[in-house]
Structure 1
Amino acid sequence: MSKRVAVLTSGGDAPGMNACIRAIVIACERHGFTLFGYQHGYNGLLEQEYEILALQATHNLIQQGGTVLHSARCEPFKTDEGAKTAATNLTELEIDTLIVIGGDGSFRGADHLADFWHGQIIGIPGTIDNDVAGTDATIGYYTAIDTVVSSIDKVRDTADAFERIFIVEVMGRHAGFLALNSALASAADYVILPETFQHCDAELDKITEQIEKRRQLKGAISFIIVVAENVWPGGLNDLADKLVSKTQSEVRPVTLGHVQRGGSPVSQDRLLATKLGTYAVSLVGSDTNGIMVGELNGTPSEIALTETWEKDKPLNPSSMETMLTIMNERY
């Protein structure tokens, strides 16, 4: 019997979500499954807002940023009554499998739904923060790094021209993957991460020490600091003010904001999205349930939805060691 599959995107959008939707559409077509696309995340489940997705919906989709299914927050879904309504709507459509593309918040929602709906639920990690356990990378992460690096390169031009200190704030309030790797790739001079930040005074001393070492060798300098959002207790302007006082230099804060979420996905995200979307559909109708599909060392992986947020995902030790070496480089 042909399966009926539904897909939605939830939480913050990430480049590559459309590529994943495309892969799911194509894979369902190949398997003879009927695919329903719910609009506006979990709101679509509550409002029974959906469309049938067929091959014509995949034209020129792989290179588009954002999500054609749209996304939104949904406070009513967090309640038991909201989840019961969603379960009733899925049952009325005779949905066999629900695929949720999103981050840990989206997976918490899917796990909440499982208390009231006993169909198959499969998650696919889509978030630029890369903070989901059970996969080496999440859809959108690679593109976000490229976007941040491109922005820092432009900031560097101005920093060099005026010999100023710039602080660039990037997303990732609970996980430093984006900050760490964009700092490495852009040759930033210093990075402040949630995993390593301990105390304002200690951090300021380290930054000042690096700036003074550079000045002794080169005189007037430019200096780029990458900081993950919400790590500095007083915010970006407070950090800038403290650095002005400590270094007697001009300091400019730059918040990249939601530009990091947008743009056409790079090839790595397109490949990851296509592989994960196809693999998720291959599990439709199996005994596998309540899991997220990811990729570890180039191989498809499966992990319980609850473990995606309960398990820690540490920063790569090699990347950390490399950044420490760069930040203490002798000139």
Structure 2
Amino acid sequence: MANSIKKIGVLTSGGDAPGMNAAIRSVVRTCAFHQIECVGIYRGYEGMIDGDFKALDARSVNHIINKGGTFLKSARSDRFRTKEGRKEAYDQLLKHAVDALVLIGGDGTFTGGMVFNEEYNFPVVGIPGTIDNDIVGTNFTLGYDTALNTVVEAIDKIRDTASSHKRLFFVEVMGRDVGHIALNAGVGSGAEEILVPEEDLGLDRLLESLEKSKHTGKSSSIVVVAEGDKTGKNVFELRDYVEENLEGYDVRVSVLGHMQRGGSPSCFDRVLASRMGVKAVETLIEGKHNVMVGTINNKLELYPIDKAVKGHSKIDEELLRVSDIMST
């Protein structure tokens, strides 16, 4: 297998995450170091079906390590979900003499790569890129650290207003299925309460917590809410419920939304992306594939893609306890 890898394709798929450009840069330059051709596949699997390929060399990726988003662009592909679409993609890879793929993305990206590998035995290696940090087999995904810093900075600014006007703010952050961003950013920003999908706080306990905070002398409060939290139907319902049942608070809602995905990647994400890109290419050179590059206790490890797709990341129970203590 080592001698058969002459050209590697790299793509980004699904939601963008800070650090994706740094990972692309690492893949391209590692290919150049090992004298392997590299092609960028634009618009993810959709671009692979269309043959939207471009040869990349070490100079093609100058000055992108500090850029957010992905210069290869990203798109979701309904066509790739069909056998016909995957056959078109495979034919394009053969046409362009691509021998293996590095896939940068999250659960959906890896699912597509897993199915493609099963059908065509085509070598793929995944690099986890998603701000939600919801991929099993790695302590950190690309973009997670940057997103946390973005959220904490935003909450710090919101707290200035909350304190000035004696307001209660519900701040909604990303996290449809997992609460990693909400929990870590909530602890890091000193939030009075944190609502995550993994722990159903309940409306009564939320009111009890806010009432307790008020009685201890807090004139303003920040409640961080993961978008997938089930305490209420949505963050606006939570606001209405608190306004109806708790006197003395002027309640506001701030939905941070897609700003969490943007921005220049942190140093941590740039370094992680660089390490993962090198590992991904050298894994393919060694003849290994259908795996994801992960980091466990700061060491790069390989993890089967099928297990990464089927697994569920768990919330940090110790940090939940820390959160409870800090909200006293």
Report the TM-score when normalising by structure 2.
0.95
User: RMSD over aligned Cα, in angstroms?
Assistant: 1.3
Which string of whole-angstrom CA distances, capped at 9 and with x for unpartnered residues, describes residues 203-238 of structure 1?
2222222222222232x6101000111324421111
Task: After TM superposition, give the deviation of residue 168 of structure 1 in Å.
Answer: 0.4
Alpha-carbon distance in 2 for matches of 1:304, 1:81: 26
Does structure 1 residue 195 correspond to structure 2 residue 195? no
Distance 1:217 1:142 in 2: 33
In structure 2, the partner of 1:229 is 227
Residues in 2 aligned to 1:95 and 1:118: alpha-carbon distance in whole angstroms: 13
One-letter identity of the residue aligned with 2:241:
K
Q: Which moved more, 1:176-185 or 1:90-99?
A: 90-99
Is 2:143 the partner of 1:140? Answer: yes
For 1:34, the aligned partner's letter is E
- Give, in whole Å, the separation in 2 of the partners of 1:318 and 1:231: 19
Give the conservation status (yes or no) of the 8 Å contact 2:243–2:250: yes
Distance 1:239 1:307 in 2: 36
CA offsets 1:160-179 (integer angstroms, 9 cap, x no match): 01111100000011011111
Give the AA of the match of 1:151. Answer: A
Listed one character per residue, the Cα deviations across residues 130-169 of structure 1 (whole Å, up to 9, x for unaligned) are 0000000000000000000011011101110111110000
Q: CA deviation at 1:58?
A: 2.0
- 1:31-110 equivalences under 5 Å are 31-110=34-113
**Counterparts in 2 of 1:169-180, with a 5 A limit?**
169-180=172-183
Displacement, 1:239? Answer: 0.8
Aligned residue number for residue 281 of structure 1:
281
Task: Note the residue ranges of structure 1 that are not aligned, 5 or more in a row.
Answer: none
Contact in 1 for aligned 2:178/2:228 (Cα 8 Å): no
Shift of 1:113: 1.3
CA distance in 1, matches of 2:29, 2:297: 25
SS at match of 1:283: helix
SS at match of 1:116: helix
Name whichever of 118-127 and 245-254 sits farther off: 245-254
The correspondence of residues 115-130 of structure 1 with structure 2, limited to 5 A, is 115-130=118-133
Q: In terms of mean alpha carbon deviation, does 283-292 or 273-282 score higher?
A: 283-292
Secondary structure, aligned partner of 2:242: helix
SS of the aligned residue for 2:313 comes to: coil
**How far off is 1:283 after superposition?**
1.2
Q: Contact 1:84/1:113 (CA < 8 Å) preserved in 2?
A: no
State the distance in 2 between where 1:40 and 1:234 align: 34
CA drift at 1:187? 0.6
Percentage of pairs with the same residue: 39
- The amino acid that maps onto 1:35 is C
2:247 is the alignment partner of 1:244: no
2-structure distance, mates of 1:100, 1:215: 49
Q: Name the counterpart of 1:186.
A: 189
Measure, in 2, the Cα distance between the counterparts of 1:37 and 1:194: 37
Q: Please name the residue that 2:270 is paired with.
A: 270
- d(CA) in 2 for partners of 1:55, 1:287: 23
Conservation of the 8 A alpha-carbon contact between 1:87 and 1:116: no
Q: Deviations over 1:249-295 (max 9, x none)?
A: 22111110000000000011011100000111111233312111111
Give the conservation status (yes or no) of the 8 Å contact 1:40–1:69: yes
Q: Deviations over 1:104-138 (max 9, x none)?
A: 11100111212332221100000000000000000
Name the counterpart of 2:117.
Answer: 114
Distance 2:11 2:284 in 1: 15
Matches within 5 A, 1:248-259: 248=247, 249-259=249-259
Q: After superposition, what is the alpha-carbon deviation per residue over 1:60-87, rounded to whole angstroms, capped at 9, x for unaligned?
A: 1110000010001111110111111111
| SS of the residue 1:270 aligns to | helix
**Which moved further from structure 2: 136-145 or 301-310?**
301-310
Question: What are the Cα deviations for residues 41-67 of structure 1, in whole angstroms up to 9, with x where unaligned?
Answer: 111111000111111122111100000
Structure 2: stretches of 5+ with no match in the other structure: none
Deviates more, 1:281-290 or 1:125-134: 281-290
* Displacement of 1:22: 0.7
1:165 aligned onto 2:168:
yes
Give the Cα separation in 2 of the matches to 1:216 and 1:66.
Answer: 45
Deviates more, 1:133-142 or 1:235-244: 235-244
What secondary structure, in the 3-state scheme, does the structure 1 residue paired with 2:119 have?
coil
**Structure 2 counterpart of 1:208:** 207
CA contact (8 A) 2:196 2:228 kept: no
User: After the TM superposition, which parts of structure 1 deviate over 6 Å for at least 4 consecutive aligned residues?
Assistant: none
